[in-house]
Amino acid sequence: QVQLVESGGGLVQAGGSLRLSCAASGSIIHLNGMGWYRQIPGKQRELVALITNGGSTNYKDSVKGRFTISRDDAKNTVYLQMNSLKPEDTAVYYCNKRQFGIDFWGQGTQVTVSS
């Protein structure tokens, strides 16, 4: 089992910044394949940023240039730095790890961007 715990969400004004953290524990092999998703009520969860299995990064088009996913292998932690936040970034953000074909999720952290 892999346990994921997110932190760092909150309320911020448009144009502001937040940094989300996802601390992984348990039977995690490595941080490749970890990503951040977000979901608003009534809509499907969508991928925001990903560290691929090869270690590269991918981003949703609408966050490119504003969000950065990074990792600290010593702390088994993945971060999502979010700059120039917009009201449309408001959502619950979830950390995800896919390992051996199984998806593990954190509990989610609310990000609210006011206009």
For 34-86, how does the pLDDT look when each residue is reduced to its tens digit (9 = 90+)? Answer: 999 999 999 999 999 999 988 899 999 999 999 999 999 999 999 999 999 99
* Distant-in-sequence contacts of 47-56, Cβ < 8 A, 24+ apart: 48/80, 48/93, 49/80, 51/78
Residue 27 pLDDT? 86
Q: In what order do the strands lie in the sheet with 18-26?
A: 2-7, 18-26, 77-82, 67-72
**How would you classify residue 60: left for phi > 0, otherwise alpha for psi between -120 and 50, otherwise beta?**
beta
Alpha-carbon distance of 81 to 93, in angstroms, equals: 12
| Better-predicted residue by pLDDT, 31 or 7 | 7
Instruction: Answer yes or no: is pLDDT of 16 > 90.
Output: yes
The amino acid that residue 66 corresponds to is: R
